[in-house]
Amino acid sequence: MFDVLIIGAGITGTLIARELSRYQIDVAVLEKCNDVGNKTTNANSAIVHSGYDPEPGSNKAKFNVLGNHMFDQLTEELDVPFERLGSLTVALEDEQIPLLEDLIQRSQENHVPVQLLTGVEAQKIEPHLSKEVKAALLAPTAGIVDPFELCVHAMENAIDNGVHLLLNEEVVAIKKVADYFLVKTKTHEYQSRIIINAAGNFADCIAGMIETIDWKITSRKGEYFVLDHFQDDYVKHTIFPLPTSKGKGVLVSPTTSGNYIVGPSSEEILRKDDYATDSLTLKQVKEHAVAMFPDLPFNQVIRVFSGLRPSCSRHDFIIEYAKTDSHFINVAGIESPGLVSSPAIAKFVVDDLVKPIISLEDKPSFNPRVRPYYRLSQMLKKHQEAFVKEHPTYGEIVCNCEKVSLGEIEDALSRSCPPRSVKGLKRRTRAGFGKCQGSFCQPRVVLILAKHYGVSPLDIPLDDVGSNILLEKIKEVK
């Protein structure tokens, strides 16, 4: 019997778990995938929005602004790279300047600092920006972060503080029995006094298992390009077009890894598991990006991908008790600006929704920090040499593109939320994230994983269970 069971191990679910791990209660996280942060959290724009854009008074505005203020401390405690580089929202026509002025009014209502720049001023701080830019809105508190790394480190910290992570557990039914819930997955049954529904694109399906709901989650697909780290400071800020009803539009932004991200598109889809990309949509993304950066070098593209955002029919975050049972808490429709909002949402869920229905006593042993991560590529050369001398496996490079060492891989595998697949290791260490996309290092990665888990390389999946890379040994092929 758990005190709290969280369904979904995306960034919202894992940060709620971490917040609950401060207290002396029994908490578990159920995740249907083979890893945490494996869907929406893993495939988004990675932007820490300033908060000037959401409708004033909405949950999106409230939690965006609160969450933005929490990121410095949060990322420092969880040892996650984070940079407040600021964002620019650009007007490409004179007729759009009044729309920027409307955003200034909205930013004042949301208490977010912004500054209106002329086109010349914008081009001075972003030299590659189109000469057609007439004006731009600078939001200095915007930033960038690695959302998957943040999610993994949050889950690691929660586990270190006593939370249980249960992977490959897809929920198929929930039933109220006396004063607790019976949760059935495809393989097990679990009991919990409180359920927190943080199931992302499937949150409406989970909520519908206990009552009839008056809201719906529609998946909105966004397709992206990733460009190699071809030049430092080619783009220095996150660059947005003016937002529309479909979203914030196609952005161009640096990432914490030194790459550049371009996208997303925005298209409502019927299936909640459609992650395909298509050439027509990507062509449109490219056209929007080139309007802001005419010389953007698309010959530096190393991959494309798509992500699904859980768009709610209420057009706002749902963070509330179920209508028929206060022990079932819905945290749904957490689309953009969900990433930046997640730490504030987690605190609200615990302080305002969980505490009123269950006694929470502080855990004296709670530690908000993870064990430090040593990233060889981010060390100065003289520090690299001294560190490798003391830790020789950090001098054995496995991924040449991203300069990832065996020591970094072994460290990831030694932690409380380790990778169980090739992609899981790739996201934690960047082994396979470079220009060759794992063409050279992937065989070595498979062997490292197999050795660590004491299994055959045939049993190592690319991602979720069943996505095995190797089928059989060549000498055994008939």
Choosing from 350, 372, 394, the residue where a domain stops is 372
The most distant pair of C-alpha atoms in the chain lies apart, rounded to whole Å, by: 70
Q: Which residues pair with 223 in a beta bridge?
A: 306
Residue 285 has pLDDT above 90, yes or no: yes
**Average pLDDT of the segment spanning 421-447:** 95
pLDDT in tens, 353-380: 999 999 999 999 999 999 999 988 888 8
pLDDT in tens, 163-188: 999 999 999 999 999 999 999 999 99
Q: Could you tell me if 201 and 299 lie in one domain?
A: no
The whole-number pLDDT of residue 220 equals 96
Q: What residues have CB less than 8 Å from 153, skipping those under 6 apart?
A: 78, 79, 80, 370
Instruction: Check if the beta carbon of residue 399 is closer than 8 Å to that of residue 430.
Output: yes
Q: How far apart are CA 61 and CA 283, in angstroms?
A: 32
**Average pLDDT of the segment spanning 465-475:** 87
The whole-number pLDDT of residue 379 equals 85
Q: How far apart are CA 192 and CA 5, in angstroms?
A: 6
pLDDT in tens, 228-259: 999 999 999 999 999 765 566 899 999 999 99
Q: Could you tell me if 75 and 183 lie in one domain?
A: yes
**Average pLDDT of the segment spanning 6-14:** 98
The whole-number pLDDT of residue 245 equals 59
Q: Could you tell me if 442 and 399 lie in one domain?
A: yes
Q: Could you tell me if 229 and 352 lie in one domain?
A: no
pLDDT in tens, 293-340: 999 999 999 999 999 999 999 999 999 999 999 999 999 999 999 999
Q: Could you tell me if 87 and 75 lie in one domain?
A: no
Residues that are catalytic? 49
**% residues pLDDT > 70 (the chain):** 98
Q: Which domain holds residue 425?
A: 376-476
> Which CATH number fits the domain that encloses residue 109?
3.30.9.10
Report the Cα–Cα distance between both ends of the chain, in Å, rounded.
50
Angle, CA 88 vertex, CA 83 and CA 93 arms, to 5° = 165
Distances (CA, A) of 358 to 207, 331, 354: 21, 18, 6
Q: Could you tell me if 21 and 117 lie in one domain?
A: no
The whole-number pLDDT of residue 16 equals 99
Q: Could you tell me if 103 and 247 lie in one domain?
A: yes
Residue 477 has pLDDT above 80, yes or no: no
The whole-number pLDDT of residue 247 equals 60
| Residue 322, phi-psi category: left (phi > 0), alpha (psi -120 to 50), beta (remainder) | beta
Q: What length is written for the chain?
A: 478
Sort strands 217-227 and 238-240 into parallel, antiparallel or unpaired.
Answer: unpaired
* Mean model confidence pLDDT for the chain: 96
**pLDDT level of residue 344 (50, 70, 90 thresholds):** very high
**% residues pLDDT > 90 (the chain):** 94
**Average pLDDT of the segment spanning 114-133:** 97
DSSP letters along 191-234, please? EEEEEEE--GGGHHHHHTTTS--S--EEEEEEEEEEE---STTS
Angle, CA 4 vertex, CA 353 and CA 340 arms, to 5° = 55
pLDDT in tens, 21-60: 999 999 999 999 999 999 999 999 999 999 999 999 999 9
Q: Could you tell me if 227 and 361 lie in one domain?
A: no
Q: Could you tell me if 262 and 363 lie in one domain?
A: no
Distances (CA, A) of 102 to 34, 52, 137, 260, 287: 44, 10, 11, 29, 26
The whole-number pLDDT of residue 248 equals 66
Instruction: Check if the beta carbon of residue 201 is closer than 8 Å to that of residue 222.
Output: no
Choosing from 333, 357, 372, the residue where a domain stops is 372
> Which CATH number fits the domain that encloses residue 42?
3.50.50.60
| Residue 46, phi-psi category: left (phi > 0), alpha (psi -120 to 50), beta (remainder) | left
User: How many domains is the chain partitioned into structurally?
Assistant: 3
Beta-carbon-side half-sphere exposure of residue 471 (alpha carbons within 13 Å): 5
Q: Could you tell me if 56 and 151 lie in one domain?
A: yes
> To which H or E segment does residue 288 belong?
helix 279-292
The whole-number pLDDT of residue 378 equals 83
The whole-number pLDDT of residue 463 equals 96
Q: How far apart are CA 161 and CA 27, in angstroms?
A: 10
Q: Which two tokens stand for residue 202?
A: 């499937």
Choosing from 288, 310, 332, the residue where a domain stops is 310
pLDDT in tens, 59-116: 999 999 999 999 999 999 999 999 999 999 999 999 999 999 999 999 999 999 999 9
Q: Could you tell me if 65 and 149 lie in one domain?
A: yes
Q: Could you tell me if 424 and 443 lie in one domain?
A: yes
Residue 475 has pLDDT above 80, yes or no: no
The whole-number pLDDT of residue 376 equals 83
- DSSP SS3 for 43: coil
